[in-house]
Amino acid sequence: MRKCFAIVLTMLLVLGNIGFASVQPALGVEIQTEAASAILMDAASGEIFYEKESHKELPPASVTKIMTLLIAADAVASGKVKLTDKVTASENASKLGGSQIYLEPGETFTLEQMLIAIAVGSANDGCVAVAEHINGTHEAFVEEMNRKAQELGLKNTHFANAYGLPAEGHYTSAYDLAMISKEALNYPLIRKLTSIKEYDLRDGKFKLWNTNKLLWWYPGADGFKTGWTNEAKYCLASTVERNGLRLICVVMGVPQVRGHFAESMKIFNYGFAKYEFKQFAPANEKQGVVTVRKGVEDQVIANTEKPLGATVEKGKDKNFWVETKLNPEINAPIQKGQILGEVLLFRNDQLQTSVNLIADHAVAKAGLVDQLERTFKGVFGY
């Protein structure tokens, strides 16, 4: 009987370790993780819910590629490059080892296909090809990565390459990776790429499977990137969204095979057990009406641009209040989506967040005859 009890207890402990069950949050016990460094962050506010040695400088392996994708997505957003661009592999790109799609010199793919190969298949050779396409040389692209790190205020990050193979001066931290991931969420393209589970390359002759198993194993997971080298061990920067609450988790230096998934799920379990997103207004909800002067219409509705809410600890969602700031009138023409004001969310007297109020539709400027007719109506009542 004791032997059976011991077996059952062992199975429960194993399940807890791989993330399918965890009693730690309910007991209020600090998370224990095998990761050398880890962090759990609220994606909206950047608030840290858990950390362990989060500023320690460590090799990130292929998690580096989140910054590579960020630089590429920024180049697409700015119009510098297009997803339909033809990217031709150089001899320099074809020589890369590690995870790759085995590019041949002169082989051509679209930029979108190359980015999918990086996001899904962790293609080192794809990183060099994309870097050369965007910045001319791999070295110039890496300089861009380091400039972006400085722009984000990262104190413990320096990149030596765009793909993450071990190199002198190539390091980052769990906190810095979480901040890079937070910035990446501003680019829908990155989450679209990193959430692809499988992809057929070369007309189906080369199959890519996403290395991030959380996409299969953990509901709500939709990014970002795994990494492994002998030096870095197992690393993962990931994001999960449930019921409006989006969290970012980074684990680095996990020694066990697949341990980066188990440790991430454990940490996410803690976050979703303890916190929730409290919504005060959904996206596109009417918050007021603005008078339109000199327009073909007299009024325009002001809607919330995105959901208004805040991440709170469960059971501690009191003392919130909302303040609306709206221009009482505005001159035409008005563009759909034009900012008309904002709605602010406070807790006690501290501002938590704000959301723009935007015009629900466009209003053209009225012609001179229409404006005169409207003026006479206002003055004479006809």
Distances (CA, A) of 62 to 150, 156, 237, 315, 345: 20, 17, 10, 39, 38
In a domain, 38, yes or no: yes
Q: Is 173 a catalytic residue?
A: no
In a domain, 326, yes or no: yes
Residues 318 and 233 in one domain: no
Domain that holds residue 53: 33-272
Band (pLDDT 50/70/90 cuts) for residue 370 is low
Mean pLDDT of 111-126: 97
In a domain, 26, yes or no: no
Mind listing the pLDDT tens digit for each residue in 123-172?
A: 999 999 999 999 999 999 999 999 999 999 999 999 999 999 999 999 99
Residue that finishes a domain, picked among 238, 272, 306: 272
Mean pLDDT of 322-336: 93
pTM listed for this prediction: 0.83
Residue that finishes a domain, picked among 240, 272, 304: 272
**pLDDT reading at 24 higher than 80:** no
Residues 324 and 355 in one domain: yes
Residue 362, domain CATH? 2.60.410.10
Chain mean pLDDT for the chain: 90
Q: Is 122 a catalytic residue?
A: yes
Residue that finishes a domain, picked among 272, 296, 315: 272
Q: Which of 22, 37, 62, 90 is catalytic?
A: 62
In a domain, 15, yes or no: no
Q: Is 62 a catalytic residue?
A: yes
Q: Which of 65, 148, 233, 266 is catalytic?
A: 65
Q: Which of 37, 122, 173, 238 is catalytic?
A: 122
Continuous H helices in the chain: 2-17, 24-27, 65-77, 91-94, 111-121, 124-135, 138-151, 174-184, 188-194, 214-217, 259-274, 368-380
Residue 141, domain CATH? 3.40.710.10
Band (pLDDT 50/70/90 cuts) for residue 227 is very high
* Count of structural domains within the chain: 2
In a domain, 11, yes or no: no
In a domain, 20, yes or no: no
Residues 233 and 335 in one domain: no
